Chain A
Amino acid sequence: MLQNQDHILQRLTAVFRDVLDLDDLELKLTTTANDVEGWDSLAHVRLMVATEQEFKVRLTTVEVSSLKNVGELVSAIAEKTTAKAS
């Protein structure tokens, strides 16, 4: 699970760098929108759409609006990809 989490975080970092045009961005599980330049409400929508495309999952409106940090997004992705695989 931890290995899976690291792998998801790595792929998520690439998505965030691309969407936010921040080549040096390093995401941690504790990273929040306040920590990242340009992560406002419109960027949040773009990040969620790009994340869904990258991981082939769909987030609910509640999930999208209630995520508190990157760690919660990683967990949501892990849960959905595991459910799909089983």
Chain B
Amino acid sequence: MPAPTFVISPEQSELFGRISGDRNPIHYASDIAARSSFGRPIVHGIHTVLAALEACCDAVGPRFARPVSVSLKLPQPFFTGEAATVETVTGAGKTRLKVTVEGVTVATIALADTESAPERDIRPDKALTPPAAQPKQRDPADFADVRGALNLVCDGDPDELFPRLSKVCDPALLRSLMRLSTVVGMEWPGQDSLFSGATLWIGPAFGVDDGVHYKVTSFDPRFNRTEIDVVAPHLNARMEAFFRPRMVAPPRLDRAIGLVGRGSFGGHQSLIIGGSNGLGAAAAVVLAAGGGRPVITYRSDRQGAVAIASMIRAGNGECDIVSCDVRNPRDLERIFEEFAPDSLMYFATPRIFRRSRHGFSPDLYREFHAFYVDAFMGCIDAALARRRSPLAVLYPSTVAIDAPVDGLSEYVAAKLAGEAVCAGLARASDHLSVLIERLPRILTAQTNSIIQAPAGDAVETMVATLDKFIAKTAPRSPLQGAASA
């Protein structure tokens, strides 16, 4: 018999958020999720777990007829629209579910009979409250004082999402399980949370009657890891969560001005492909700080592009923004009809860091190749078709080519292919000069992970890179120099 599969749609994810009360925007707001290390909205962890149990309800349903302990682990993010497969292994008093996406484990659920549950030091004396409208912004240092109680009045019925589980679980238990998501996503750690696992003890004698009472029991600053104890109807739980690092702040013009010689880049108009956030945004700000005129393109993050351009204009600089999907030739034609830049900086990229996996994924390589090679070539072709004057190109690459990093093989292979293309283009055209710069790991939304690795500063890195790029590859013409003096 084939293993059960399930898909969670954005609408189901939204519904889970409404019923559970976990309205943390990381689960539905594309623009906010795009600036996180996940790059797009993630499914609530408890939603993944309950959807897996629902998919295997024939096998696991009978377990809920007696007291059961459930160990949950959520090692990797799971996204809406993805097809998950649930493998079930039963034996020695245990049932184990492994939820995988393309062979990568996104959740494990181990169920076993149990006689008792641990004692919890939670006084259920707090008045019950509904979930907050917005996730709380918490200071980890406050962990010792954080406790609370949520009611079980849900905006909707869990059986809309989990009809089969609803038949084998007590209704208050199902609501309590969904509220666990709310405890983490809205209460503690709240706004910057990542729910990573829990151990649950489920049985009529294990909980309290009225609502979901929680208490934060630990915070480990080495890992930003926290534990929360919960008692609720039919439920006793210890949950594990992390504080996600705060979103990386956009580059600041005043800081760039302090690092760049005034007028260093005067007279230069540069088209910055992918300039609404990350390194592209830093390049735009640095160029403007030196008197240059960036034109930044964005694919989906218009808000980010507007914010960067507004900051530059507020500092008396010039900056244009234009929407562009580099994979669309018509977008590229339109841009080069409108603008005639002296130089082009190519920062278009998909998400770089993906789920941990073994081996090389040809599909992932093709995804990177589409940006770093195909779309890049399309961009250069479109530029050269409309100009006879020289064009300088900055192609950011990676030091991971020289010092391999686990899990980045596909990314590195595509960047290497891009470097080869750059070298070929520069040889073939008298109008083109290309600077390939192998950049180190730099702190951006892409690299802002829970376990922080050393990372450079985007503005400082771009100051050094643009100094090299503009000075050596795109020197000002005497006329431009005179005009900007």
Segment of A9-17, A42-50, A69-77, A78-86 in the binding face: A42-50
- Chain B residue numbers with a CB within 8 Å of A61 are 222
Q: Mark B235-266, 1 if CB is under 8 A from A, else 0.
A: 00000101000000000000000000000000
How far is A56 from B222 in the complex, measured between Cα atoms in Å? 17
**Given A21-B108, A34-B406, A41-B450: A64 touches B222 (CB 8 Å cut-off):** yes
B105 touches A42 (CB 8 A): no
**Which of A21, A34, A41 sits near B96, CB closer than 8 Å?**
A21
The answer, yes or no, to whether A26 is at the interface (CB within 8 Å) is no
**Which of A34, A38, A42 sits near B196, CB closer than 8 Å?**
A42
The answer, yes or no, to whether B451 is at the interface (CB within 8 Å) is yes
A40 touches B75 (CB 8 A): yes
B108 touches A44 (CB 8 A): no
How far is A68 from B451 in the complex, measured between Cα atoms in Å? 16
A45 touches B406 (CB 8 A): no
B75 touches A43 (CB 8 A): yes
B449 touches A41 (CB 8 A): yes
Q: Mark B196-236, 1 if CB is under 8 A from A, else 0.
A: 11000000000000000000000010110100000000000
Please tell me the size bucket of the interface on A: 10 to 19
Is chain A's interface secondary structure helix, strand, loop, or mixed overall? helix
Please tell me the size bucket of the interface on B: 20 to 34
Output the least CB separation between B45 and chain A (Å): 12
A49 touches B406 (CB 8 A): no
A21 touches B450 (CB 8 A): no
A58 to chain B: closest residue by CB: B222
A45 touches B75 (CB 8 A): no
**Which of A34, A38, A44, A64 sits near B105, CB closer than 8 Å?**
A38
Residues of chain B in range 79-111 having any CB-CB distance to chain A below 8 Å: 96, 98, 105, 108, 110
B451 touches A41 (CB 8 A): yes
Output the least CB separation between B360 and chain A (Å): 14
**Which of B98, B108, B242, B356 sits near A40, CB closer than 8 Å?**
B356
B110 touches A49 (CB 8 A): no
**Which of B75, B110, B197, B223 sits near A38, CB closer than 8 Å?**
B75
B406 to chain A: closest residue by CB: A34
B197 to chain A: closest residue by CB: A46
Output the least CB separation between B224 and chain A (Å): 9
Is chain B's interface secondary structure helix, strand, loop, or mixed overall? strand
The answer, yes or no, to whether B73 is at the interface (CB within 8 Å) is yes
B223 touches A45 (CB 8 A): yes
Output the least CB separation between B469 and chain A (Å): 34
How far is A9 from B50 in the complex, measured between Cα atoms in Å? 36
- Chain A residue numbers with a CB within 8 Å of B196 are 42
A39 to chain B: closest residue by CB: B356
- Chain B residue numbers with a CB within 8 Å of A65 are 451
Q: Mark B341-374, 1 if CB is under 8 A from A, else 0.
A: 0000000000000001010000000000000000
Output the least CB separation between B60 and chain A (Å): 16
How far is A43 from B449 in the complex, measured between Cα atoms in Å? 14
Q: Mark A20-43, 1 if CB is under 8 A from B, else 0.
A: 010000000000001001101111
**Given A49-B225, A61-B222, A64-B222: A42 touches B450 (CB 8 Å cut-off):** yes
How far is A64 from B98 in the complex, measured between Cα atoms in Å? 28
- Chain A residue numbers with a CB within 8 Å of B240 are 46
- Chain B residue numbers with a CB within 8 Å of A43 are 75
- Chain A residue numbers with a CB within 8 Å of B406 are 34
Output the least CB separation between B138 and chain A (Å): 19
Output the least CB separation between A68 and chain B (Å): 13
Output the least CB separation between A59 and chain B (Å): 8
Q: Of A45, A46, A48, which is in contact with the most chain B CB atoms at under 10 Å from its CB?
A: A45
**Given A21-B73, A64-B222: A45 touches B451 (CB 8 Å cut-off):** yes
- Chain A residue numbers with a CB within 8 Å of B197 are 46
Q: Of A42, A49, A61, which is in contact with the most chain B CB atoms at under 10 Å from its CB?
A: A42
- Chain A residue numbers with a CB within 8 Å of B110 are 21
How far is A43 from B220 in the complex, measured between Cα atoms in Å? 15
- Chain A residue numbers with a CB within 8 Å of B73 are 21, 46
How far is A37 from B108 in the complex, measured between Cα atoms in Å? 13
- Chain A residue numbers with a CB within 8 Å of B450 are 41-42
- Chain A residue numbers with a CB within 8 Å of B449 are 41
How far is A21 from B70 in the complex, measured between Cα atoms in Å? 13
Output the least CB separation between A44 and chain B (Å): 7
Output the least CB separation between B240 and chain A (Å): 8
A46-B240, A64-B222, A64-B223 provided; 15 other pairs, C-beta below 8 A? A21-B73, A21-B96, A34-B406, A37-B358, A38-B75, A41-B449, A41-B450, A42-B196, A42-B242, A45-B223, A45-B451, A46-B197, A49-B223, A49-B225, A61-B222
A-B contact pairs, 17 of them (CB 8 A): A21-B108, A21-B110, A37-B358, A41-B451, A42-B196, A42-B242, A42-B450, A42-B451, A45-B223, A45-B225, A45-B451, A46-B197, A46-B240, A48-B223, A49-B220, A49-B225, A64-B223
Binding site for A on B (CB under 8 A): 73, 75-76, 96, 98, 105, 108, 110, 196-197, 220, 222-223, 225, 240, 242, 356, 358, 406, 449-451
Closest 8 interchain pairs by CB? A40-B356, A41-B451, A45-B223, A61-B222, A21-B108, A42-B75, A43-B75, A45-B225
